[in-house]
Structure 1
């Protein structure tokens, strides 16, 4: 679609909720899957929105974009969520301008993650923006901004230990299992959901628990088949889910289903089980929590796990913030120069008009007039651009440029 909204940084907003003020159940009311994201793109023009993207993970749902008011973004988002716009707004943080930019840089770096330095968020940002770009909802500002955030995240990962060690929600699940079972090899593990989080979790199970006694189930069976073949695991069709649940000692869920997949009826009289729900919305029926012999853990409880790795990461946070400050300053320089571009173009047009007059051709006799005047004009434009950048002023430079050109040798 054609992007028409003028880029004014004061119209750039982020509205979101995350783990800091909401539990997994509440976040689940505002989770957005790919199908809902598509519907949002379809109706966005009716909300007078043409540049935005949405991040929806187990820890947050955030919408970033250009609007006259943040309510436009919130109302659009909540057309596809079970939670209402009013409820979202009562829980949300809303930021605009440079504060919104700073928030995105911090999210991309893992500084705002439930587990500090969790690097999985950057892949989720890439995917969210990719979908928006393919449908024409990423303008030049957002494109440049996201690229800068991605580069900053990469620099932080390479130049600091903020993401050092192996700590993420999926790895925290493995740590929890490891701490609760002495002999894991004889335990049967069921993993439901083999998307990005499920796939990462599966690899962590194999790598850090040293077991292949794992069965994979996915609604789209071919994904489970492919991952099972890659890691030498078992797989089963979704129709066999209830039998797989009954047979398993440890169950992990990582699906994007909007309704619970694992029900209390599946677990009644089926023995002791550990269930780790990595899904948002929750993928395990809430009544399971009180069942005898069942231990149910969700992403919020996993996020409370602390260890030596996280303490080391906390010490690296100030370095990461310094890198963000430097990269944000460069981005704002780019934005300022882009904002000055119309004025510089107008100045250049006027100088070209002046140079066409006869007296300037006479004054530059003996030298190729066109070459000399073009050089003079570009020199003046460069000078004015530098002043605009340094002093953040526009209006007075128009006359100043003409005077500078007139007096140039």
Structure 2
């Protein structure tokens, strides 16, 4: 199948779902892992969609790119994810043109994040676009736009207080643990998954809550061993996961596996526990939450943790928007100038074609004389005038605009009033 579309800004779309309209369970259906992302881009190239990227985080999945219509981006996402197309069409937000561009600025600067000012999102955008570029699916428009967003994000971080204070999923976990498990420093904690979120949460627990008895479990044992060695913690092989969980008081799950790794059968006869699922899609089976002796918390509940830091950040939003406005205007100016450059080059090529044809006709195998050159130049000038006059005669409803533009471009000094 061939997909025909132009790189006009009206054909730039974003299709996505986020925390505002969907819960974590639904978002998990449309989450894209690296293998799925690879397949999605491969299919995109096959249908000539070659300027796009996918942003998939715990709070959102979005496809940004050029297409004849947004439905083509929906098809791409549903083809590789576990989600249903009709459900996505009902829940998704779609933005096009300048609205889509502004959305990316707002996402990249944390204005659209579940936790206002979340600065981690910009790294996720950087990684998503780097992945796409490495597979020849990031064109000059998107690369320039993302670079502008990266610059704006940095400016907002340094020139406003939008990202000041510690508010993140990892820190929200600590605040929640502090509230519902005040004696956690005396509890046995198991961390399943030692990726970025797991590491950050663990470090926050140690620093803010004084937690010391933490056992790390990771599919790659060496990753757990290295982190445990750096922080004086314990670690255990993945094969011991069930027994370690059964002996724990608090279980943090940040494994980010495609399917649940913590099952109800693992804990059915265990002692009371608090389980925090930080993964998208969920890595704790829903049935675990139905066990009477288990308290299960997921990322959506964590995001409700409020802090005075967030109130302070709200006051910085107008400054951030002002910076976005300024740089978005610069980006749109670049886009328009690029379009003009294409037209001007085409005009130059057209004039070169006329020039070459006239020279060949005049030369006829002989040497040039001054009168030959003057005659050729005269004919070229006349042909240019004829081209402009023909267009003005053909487009009668726009003739006054064309003449005014030509008058202005060539600075004739003629007063048309």
Q: Which residue of 1 aligns with 2:154?
A: 154
Q: How many residues align?
A: 374
Q: Which residue of 2 aligns with 1:321?
A: 321
Contact 1:33 1:256 in 2 (8 A): no
Once the two structures are TM-superposed, the CA of residue 67 in structure 1 deviates from its matched residue by: 0.4
Once the two structures are TM-superposed, the CA of residue 40 in structure 1 deviates from its matched residue by: 1.0
Distance 1:222 1:80, change over 3 A: farther
Once the two structures are TM-superposed, the CA of residue 177 in structure 1 deviates from its matched residue by: 0.8
Once the two structures are TM-superposed, the CA of residue 348 in structure 1 deviates from its matched residue by: 4.9
Q: Which residue of 1 aligns with 2:145?
A: 145
Once the two structures are TM-superposed, the CA of residue 113 in structure 1 deviates from its matched residue by: 0.8
The 5 A counterparts of 1:302-317 are 302-317=302-317
The alignment status of 1:8 with 2:8, answered yes or no, reads: yes
Contact 2:5 2:68 in 1 (8 A): no
The 5 A counterparts of 1:95-244 are 95-244=95-244
Distance 1:402 1:13, change over 3 A: closer
Once the two structures are TM-superposed, the CA of residue 280 in structure 1 deviates from its matched residue by: 1.1
Distance 1:402 1:89, change over 3 A: closer
Equivalent residue of 1:185, what SS? helix
Contact 2:253 2:279 in 1 (8 A): yes
Once the two structures are TM-superposed, the CA of residue 405 in structure 1 deviates from its matched residue by: 9.8
Q: Which residue of 1 aligns with 2:256?
A: 256
Q: Which residue of 1 aligns with 2:366?
A: none
Once the two structures are TM-superposed, the CA of residue 51 in structure 1 deviates from its matched residue by: 1.2
**C-alpha distance in 1 between matches for 2:349 and 2:406:** 13
After TM superposition, the score normalised by the length of structure 2 is 0.83
Deviations 1:376-402 (A, max 9, x none): xxxxxxxxxxxxxxxxxx977984588
Q: Which residue of 2 aligns with 1:333?
A: 333
**C-alpha distance in 1 between matches for 2:140 and 2:403:** 28
Once the two structures are TM-superposed, the CA of residue 11 in structure 1 deviates from its matched residue by: 0.7
Deviations 1:74-97 (A, max 9, x none): 111111211112211110000000
Deviations 1:228-264 (A, max 9, x none): 2232322222111101111211111112212111111
**C-alpha distance in 1 between matches for 2:218 and 2:122:** 24
Contact 1:347 1:401 in 2 (8 A): no
Once the two structures are TM-superposed, the CA of residue 404 in structure 1 deviates from its matched residue by: 4.8
Equivalent residue of 1:114, what SS? coil
Contact 1:351 1:402 in 2 (8 A): no
Q: Which residue of 2 aligns with 1:58?
A: 58
Q: Which moved more, 1:221-230 or 1:239-248?
A: 221-230
Q: Which residue of 1 aligns with 2:394?
A: none
After TM superposition, the score normalised by the length of structure 1 is 0.84
Once the two structures are TM-superposed, the CA of residue 54 in structure 1 deviates from its matched residue by: 0.6
Q: Which residue of 2 aligns with 1:379?
A: none
Once the two structures are TM-superposed, the CA of residue 33 in structure 1 deviates from its matched residue by: 0.8
**C-alpha distance in 2 between matches for 1:232 and 1:400:** 78
Equivalent residue of 1:138, what SS? coil
**C-alpha distance in 1 between matches for 2:109 and 2:209:** 28
Q: Which residue of 2 aligns with 1:383?
A: none
**C-alpha distance in 2 between matches for 1:66 and 1:192:** 39
Between structure 1 and structure 2, the one with the greater Rg is 2
Deviations 1:308-346 (A, max 9, x none): 111111111111111111111111011110111122224
Equivalent residue of 1:125, what SS? helix
Once the two structures are TM-superposed, the CA of residue 300 in structure 1 deviates from its matched residue by: 0.8
Distance 1:395 1:272, change over 3 A: farther
Once the two structures are TM-superposed, the CA of residue 8 in structure 1 deviates from its matched residue by: 1.1
Deviations 1:80-121 (A, max 9, x none): 211112211110000000000111111011111111111111
Gaps of 5+ in 2: 360-369, 375-400
Equivalent residue of 1:241, what SS? helix
**C-alpha distance in 2 between matches for 1:42 and 1:217:** 34
Equivalent residue of 2:204, what SS? helix
Q: Which residue of 1 aligns with 2:86?
A: 86
The alignment status of 1:403 with 2:410, answered yes or no, reads: yes
**C-alpha distance in 1 between matches for 2:230 and 2:39:** 34
Q: Which moved more, 1:140-149 or 1:312-321?
A: 312-321
**C-alpha distance in 2 between matches for 1:293 and 1:278:** 20
**C-alpha distance in 2 between matches for 1:402 and 1:159:** 41
Once the two structures are TM-superposed, the CA of residue 128 in structure 1 deviates from its matched residue by: 0.7
Once the two structures are TM-superposed, the CA of residue 12 in structure 1 deviates from its matched residue by: 0.5
Q: Which residue of 2 aligns with 1:36?
A: 36
Once the two structures are TM-superposed, the CA of residue 73 in structure 1 deviates from its matched residue by: 0.8
